[in-house]
A and B are shown apart, each in its own frame.
Chain A
Amino acid sequence: MNAHPVKVYVPRDSAARSVGADAVADALQHTADQGGIGIELVRNGSRGMLWLEPLVEVVTPRGRVGYGPVTPADVPGLLAAGMLDGAAHPLRLGIVDELPWLARQTRVTFARIGVTDPLSTADYLEHGGLVGLRAALEREPADVVAEVTDSGLRGRGGAGFPAGIKWKTVLGCADELKFVCCNADEGDSGTFADRMVMEGDPFMLIEGMTIAAHAVGATEGYLYIRSEYPEAVATMRAAIGIAREQGWLGKAVLGSALDFDLHVRVGAGAYICGEETSMLESLEGKRGTVRPKPPIPAIEGLFGRPTVVNNVLTLATVPVVLAAGAAAYQALGVERSRGTQVFQLGGNIAHGGIVETAFGVTLRELVEDYGGGTYSGRPVRTVQVGGPLGAYLPTSMFDLPMDYEAFAAAGAMVGHGGLVVFDDRVDMAAQARFAMEFCAEESCGKCTPCRVGSVRGVEVIDKIIAGEHRDENLALLDDLCDLMTEGSLCAMGGLTPLPVRSALTHFPDDFLGGRRSLEIQPVRATGSRAATTTEGRA
């Protein structure tokens, strides 16, 4: 055995594991053991270059050298070639920090992810952990709120509401019991940044929630994680346990006057619980139906108490805002979209993953430069931006800058920065129909425009595709979209018309009939959803 074992990183991120990272880690350990070679295997988060996963990194005097994507079968050859010295090999990528895809980004929220061991407190502290929380605890709550307001940080969950204004409302409430809730019900297709934060840098989220608690006077926090993310649940639970042991949570946080404890709650497979008021109902042990606003959750939230509800990325960005100062964060971005956004490239894309960069980057840069076009190699036809409730944009709009207001003016939304790419084989009438059908399946049922409108939407799109009274039915669909937009209680019904209308506007020829449509399998008739799905188990 060597006196100083070589440090080797193999990600433990779910995406990396989904393509074999565990087997690669096992093969590395096994092969090294057999050869009597000492290695120190660290399971880090992912760098977010997901097409290169499993990405193995070796620490060398010149920096961390990457190899990928690695299969277990490659491991003996890699070791024989001198991988542990960073030697040449067909899978060698070079110094990871210098790879253009990564070097061009501005990693602020994602600065540590993929670099550190997610559950190592030593790594966390060595890489700037707790600097923001310590700075916050030395200041009055109102000053902390002002710092967040001045940074221009807007909610990263999709709606883009200024975080500081929300916090100020909660701070202004006199209640003794207040809550901080992190919405980690990242259910939108094309988004995975929240999952990567929770799996790759859980202490950052804990730190952000603790800063929020100090800023508004909260003593309890809830982290609502969707059940589809079992690894994120496990990692967050482990991190919370460690944070309590370290005195980063609990009584007298870091020796200050702040008492704050944090609980993980697991969702149960309801997309609507990503909507903040549905999430609160679910946290209270009820059906996840939407609450009408007002009252806003900042004043009457969880269990009727003043509650900060923010998305994972929003809260995870707070530590760096406090550590670096509002001005440093505010200096990034354009117009009223300040700081960085964590763009998530998914779907049919060659180089999918995480691109964190200042607002103002164009769709073309994201899809063509970073993304490298489609995975299939065929032409890009459309990109859906901002999740299932976001618009489908044609390539003619690719010079649109990523900016909340610029997108809104173009009839689209930046949302949470998720991009889903489709090649030229996509049937846009089927996608429009799917948008309505998804809404029908996942509507909480509380309001009629969403619950019934979505079912009628599927029917009328079917008639349009079949060529039945096309003009009348197109007018009817337009009217229905107006009604859903104006009359729904929350974004589910209110934004479903966005993908539908964008598909109609930009790809009208697809609605001339003849192409196959997707059909969601109704799982079961349940409660209010009985009105929108066919009966019984399929």
Chain B
Amino acid sequence: MTTSGSDVTVENVVRGVAAGHRGERGALLPVLHAVQAELGYVPQEAIPVLADEFNLSRADVHGVVTFYHDFRREPAGRTVVRICRAEACQALGAQELVDYARAAGLPLGQTTPDGAVTVEQVFCLGNCALGPALEVNGRLHGRVGPAELGALLEGAAAS
């Protein structure tokens, strides 16, 4: 009946999530957020299911998934560190944090081979008076220097 067990899982998750948002106007974004919350990313197999659920073309759904930075096409590391690189944090040395992460073997956009840490850039976390700022698994940190970033990365790698 089905080609693999994972197909069943993705389809079930997507259909379940979509059912929970039926009746909401323009529900595709909330559904994509919910799928990502369940699975950690939006797998390719989710796209035809979403197209079917919302009576859209696959191209439409693909277009939405790929337009937004938040939706991942593959799983992230267990810890996601997002370094703010917007102007207010630039003014306080955000680039030093990026350089530090890169020197530690964590260039932006990459996940460590063991799947422990992903380091990304973000533009503005709304902590512009207490920069440089970054976010670790959704938790905001202000006045972060390279030493503190080092400690955060080490803690993440050990987890």
Q: Which residues of A contact B (CB under 8 A)?
A: 14-15, 17-19, 50-51, 53, 186-192, 195, 227-231, 263, 265-271, 282-288, 303, 344-349, 352-353, 375-376, 384, 388, 418, 420-423, 426, 431, 434, 438, 442, 444, 518, 520-521, 523-524, 526-527, 529, 537-538
Query: Which residues of chain A are near B80, meaning CB under 8 Å?
Result: none
Q: A18-B133, A51-B129, A527-B66 are in contact. List 11 more A-B contacts (CB 8 A).
A: A15-B142, A190-B86, A191-B124, A192-B126, A266-B29, A303-B25, A352-B130, A518-B85, A518-B95, A521-B121, A537-B109
B87 pairs with A345, CB closer than 8 A? no
Residues of A within 8 A of B68 (CB): 267-270, 288
- Do B130 and A348 have beta carbons less than 8 Å apart? no
A521–B29 CB distance below 8 A: no
- Bound together, the chains give a CA A142 to CA B12 distance in angstroms of 50
B115-144 interface bits toward A, Cβ cutoff 8 Å, 1 = contact, 0 = none: 000001111111111110101001011110
> 14 A-B contacts, Cβ less than 8 Å apart?
A14-B126, A15-B142, A19-B143, A51-B130, A189-B88, A228-B124, A287-B63, A347-B87, A352-B128, A420-B87, A521-B107, A521-B121, A527-B67, A538-B109
B108 CB contacts on chain A under 8 angstroms: 521, 538
Query: Closest residue to A188 on the B side, CB-wise?
Result: B124
- Closest-by-CB residue of A relative to B62 is A527
Which of A348, A521, A523 has the most chain B CB atoms inside 10 A of its CB?
Answer: A521
Contact partner of A190 among B30, B71, B87, CB < 8 A?
A: B87
Chain A contacts of B120 at CB under 8 A? 523
Residues in chain B near residue A523, CB distance under 8 A: 69, 109, 120-121
Residues of A within 8 A of B33 (CB): 227, 266, 268
Chain B residues within an 8 Å CB radius of A438:
123
* B152 located at the interface, meaning its Cβ lies under 8 Å from any Cβ of chain A in the complex: no
Among residues 13 to 31 in chain B, which have CB atoms less than 8 Å away from a CB atom of chain A? Answer: 24-30
Q: Please, how many angstroms separate the alpha-carbon atoms of A228 and B127 in the complex?
A: 11
Among A18, A53, A227, A231, which residue has the most Cβ atoms of chain B within 10 A? A18
Q: Tell me the smallest distance from the CB of B36 to a CB of chain A, in Å.
A: 9
Residue of A nearest to B56 (CB): A285
Residues B63 and A189 in contact, CB atoms below 8 Å apart? no
- 4 A-B pairs with the lowest CB-CB distances in the bound complex, closest first: A352-B129, A346-B128, A285-B28, A189-B86
* Closest chain A CB from B146 CB (angstroms): 16
Minimum C-beta distance from A516 to chain B (A): 9
- Closest beta carbon of chain B to A535's beta carbon, Å: 13
Which among A15, A284, A442 has the highest number of chain B CB atoms within 10 Å?
Answer: A15
Given contacts A192-B129, A538-B109, A19 and B63 within 8 Å (CB-CB): no
A228→B126 contact, CB < 8 A: yes
Chain B residues positioned under 8 Å from A269 (CB to CB): 68-70, 122
A230 contact set on B, CB distance < 8 A: 138
Q: Please list the residues of chain B having a beta carbon within 8 angstroms of any beta carbon in chain A.
A: 24-30, 32-33, 54, 60, 63-64, 66-71, 73, 85-92, 95, 107-110, 120-131, 133, 135, 138, 140-143
Note all chain B residues with C-beta closer than 8 A to A229.
126
User: Chain A residues with Cβ under 8 A from B130's Cβ?
Assistant: 15, 18-19, 50-51, 53, 352
Report the bound CA distance from A216 to B127 in whole Å: 35
Looking across the interface, which residue of chain A has its beta carbon closest to that of B138? Answer: A230
CA gap between A50 and B127 in the complex, in Å: 9
In the bound complex, residues from chain B placing their C-beta under 8 Å from that of A524 are: 66, 73
- Contact B140–A17 (Cβ < 8 Å): yes
A265 touches B30 (CB 8 A): yes
A187 → B minimal CB distance (Å)? 6
Cβ contact within 8 Å between B30 and A347:
no
In this complex, the member of A265, A285, A349, A537 whose beta carbon has the largest number of chain B beta carbons within 10 angstroms is: A285
Is the beta-carbon distance between B29 and A189 smaller than 8 angstroms?
no
Q: How far is the CB of A503 from chain B (nearest CB, A)?
A: 12
* Residues of B close to A270: CB separation below 8 A: 67-69
Bound CA–CA A200/B149 (angstroms): 28
| CA distance in complex: A20, B86 (Å) | 22
The answer on a CB contact under 8 Å between B67 and A431 is: no
Most buried by A among B63, B87, B122: B87
Rounded to whole angstroms, the CA-CA distance of A195 and B85 in the bound complex is 19
Contact partner of B123 (CB less than 8 A), chosen from A18, A187, A518, is: A187
Instruction: Report Cα–Cα, A231/B25, bound state, in Å.
Output: 24
Q: For the complex formed, measure the closest distance between the CB of A53 and the CB atoms of chain B, giving whole angstroms.
A: 7
Closest to B140 in A: A18
What's the nearest-Cβ distance from chain A to residue B118, in Å?
11
B85's closest neighbor in chain A, by CB?
A520
- What is the CA–CA distance of A344 and B130 in the complex, to the nearest angstrom? 12
- Asked if B128 contacts A189 (CB within 8 A), the reply is yes
Which B residues lie within 8 Å of A271 (CB)?
A: 123
Query: B54 — which chain A residues lie within 8 A by C-beta?
Result: 285
Q: Are A189 and B140 in contact (CB under 8 A)?
A: no
Q: Are B27 and A285 in contact (CB under 8 A)?
A: yes
A384 touching B87 by the CB < 8 A rule?
yes
Contact yes or no, B69 A285, CB < 8 A:
no
A526: contacting residue among B25, B29, B66, B86, CB under 8 A: B66
Which residues from chain A contact B90 at a C-beta distance below 8 Å?
A: 431, 434, 518
Interfacial chain A residues near B122, Cβ < 8 Å: 228, 269
* Chain A: CB-nearest residue to B125: A228
Whether A303 contacts B109 by the Cβ 8 Å rule is no
What's the least CB distance linking B117 to chain A, in Å? Answer: 15
Specify which chain A residues have a CB less than 8 angstroms from the CB of B107 in the assembled complex. Answer: 521, 538
- Cα–Cα distance between A269 and B130 once the two chains are bound (Å): 21
User: Which residues from B are CB-within-8-Å of A50?
Assistant: 129-130
Which residues of the other chain, B, contact A19 by a CB distance below 8 angstroms? 130, 142-143
Given A190-B87, A268-B33, A349-B129, A526 and B123 touching (CB < 8 A)? Answer: no
CB–CB A288/B67 < 8 A: yes
Which A residues lie within 8 Å of B133 (CB)? 18
Residues of A within 8 A of B32 (CB): 268
A53-B130, A283-B26, A388-B86 known; A348 and B109 CB under 8 Å?
A: no
